[in-house]
Structure 1
Amino acid sequence: MQIIDLSEMPQAIETLARWHYSEWQHLYPGETQGDFEKDLRASMAVNVIPSTFVAVDKGNVIGSISLLERDMDISESWTPWLANLFVHQDYRQQGVGKQLIEYLTRFCSVNSINHLYLFTPDSRSYYQTLGWALLRHQVYKGEQVDIMVRELSAAGK
C-alpha cells in the first residue's frame, strides 16, 4: 500500500465522492454527490490546506484522508481539521486508517502545523489510542459528536 496526493490520482475523485457521500450525507442534507466531488477537486490545489491523500493498493484506491481549514461551523480558532478519513470496508482492521493519520500528521508537521482537530460520533477511543485528546462533546447537525485535538511535534509524532 502507498499513500499519494489526490492530484496524482484524480481518477479516484468519483469513487471517493461516492464513498464520502454515502458515509456522511446525513450531515450535509443539502449537498449532492457532485458537491462532494467539487470539494475533493478543490483539495488538489497547490495549497497546503485543503489537501487530500489517497491510500492505494495494487492500483486501487482503498481509502482517503483530508486536511481542511474547517470541518465544522464552530470556533474559527480551531483549525485545521482532519476530515474524510475513510477506508473501504474490505481493508478495515488492517491499519490503513492509522497509516493515513500518521501520513497526515507528518505532512502537517513538515508544513509547520502544530495541532489538528477532528470530530467523530463513534470513534473517540480509537483516536485516543493514537494520541488525540477530547476537547468536548456536543450535538452537531443532530448527532452527538466528540471534538478532539492532537498536538503535533516537529517530527510529526
Structure 2
Amino acid sequence: MPRMDWLAHQMKHCDAMAQRLYQQFSYEYAGQSLEQWQREFAAGQLDGSWKALIVTDDDQWLGGAALAQDDLASRPDLGPWLACVLVAPEARGQGLAARLIEGICNDARDSGVKTLYLHTHDQSDYYAKRGWEVLERFEAWGKEQWLMSRAL
C-alpha cells in the first residue's frame, strides 16, 4: 500500500528523485550538472529549501513533490512554491499527484503560508481543476509557462 513520508526521513531515495527530476525537467537544469543538483536537493531536505514529500510502496519510490522556497529566479518576490511534482510512469492514474499536492499544501498552511505558487508549462488545466488560479503567462526555458497560485 502506498505511503507518504517526508524525504528527509527517507534520504536513501533522495539522489534517485533528484535524478528523475533532472531528467523530466532537464530544460530547467541547463548549466547545472546532475551531481550539483543532487547535492542542492539533498541539502534542501536538511535546511527546508526543497522540503519534499514522497510516496513509496514496498520501499520503491513512486512519486514526490516539494515545498520550495525559491523556484523561479525571475520572481524572487513570490514564494513559497509547489515544485518538483512527479509521479513515476508506472504509478500514474492512482491519484498520487493529487495526494502529494494536498500534502504540500496542508504542510504549508500549517506553517502559516497563506498563498502557494507554482509554474507549469503543460499542466495548467490539471492545477486549475484543483483550485489553482492563473496569475500570468510567460516564456521561460523556450516554453510557454503558466504562473499560478492557490490561497491556502
Shorter-chain TM-score bucket reads over 0.9
* Pairwise CA distance, 1:83: 0.7
Structure 2, unaligned runs of 5 or more: none
Distance 2:114 2:4 in 1: 22
Letter in 2 for 1:50: W
Distance 1:150 1:96 in 2: 19
RMSD between superposed Cα atoms in Å:
1.2
Paired-residue identity, %: 23
Letter in 2 for 1:103: G
Moved over 3 A (4+): none
Distance 2:47 2:22 in 1: 24
Which residue of structure 2 aligns with residue 90 of structure 1?
90
Is the 1:71–1:81 contact (alpha carbons within 8 Å) kept by the matching residues of 2?
yes
Distance 1:147 1:46 in 2: 25
Letter in 1 for 2:27: H
* Pairwise CA distance, 1:36: 2.1
* Pairwise CA distance, 1:39: 2.1
Length, aligned pairs only? 151
Letter in 1 for 2:132: W
Which residue of structure 2 aligns with residue 118 of structure 1?
118
In the superposition, the TM-score normalised over structure 2's length comes to 0.94
How does 1:142-153 map onto structure 2 within 5 Å? 142-152=142-152
1:69 paired with 2:69, answer yes
Structure 1, unaligned runs of 5 or more: 153-157
